[in-house]
Structure 1
Amino acid sequence: MIELDLSGLKCPLPALRTRKALLAAAPGDRLHVICTDPLAGIDVPNLIRETGDVLEEQRQEAARISFVIRKVGQ
């Protein structure tokens, strides 16, 4: 699993960095993305809908939001 710690980054950087990581990932790869910006809870799921990849998990723990994303296609 690819770890992507985006703690401290503000909108739109978490979504942009997640997009960049997904572009570099191979189909079947899983990304674990950690964010602290509350807007990432909206932006990242919207990004995943755009890319067609799969949001396997979204979890909120205090100020941290974490996502597990599976890369589907190129």
Structure 2
Amino acid sequence: MIEIDARGMRCPWPAIRLARALREHGTAEVAILADDPAAPRELAAVAAAAGRALVTDSEMRFRVEASG
């Protein structure tokens, strides 16, 4: 599992970091910590664009499940 700590970063940076991880690590599951109020919406859009689902683990922790 790839883990990203994007706390303290304002959008679009958490979404950019997630998109990069998905591109570089292919089918791996990615966990991301993000505290920007816009993060859930933007991270969900990045996950959907990659054909994957965003799961909310807690208020600040999100997970993009592994594909295939």
Q: Which residue of 2 aligns with 1:19?
A: 19
Runs of 4+ in 1 over 3 A off after TM superposition: none
Structure 2 unaligned segments of length 5 or more: list them: none
Identity of aligned residues (%): 29
TM-score, length basis structure 1: 0.79
Q: Which residue of 1 aligns with 2:38?
A: 39
More strand by share: 1
Cα RMSD, aligned residues only: 1.5
TM-score, length basis structure 2: 0.85
Structure 1 unaligned segments of length 5 or more: list them: none
The structure whose Rg is larger is: 1
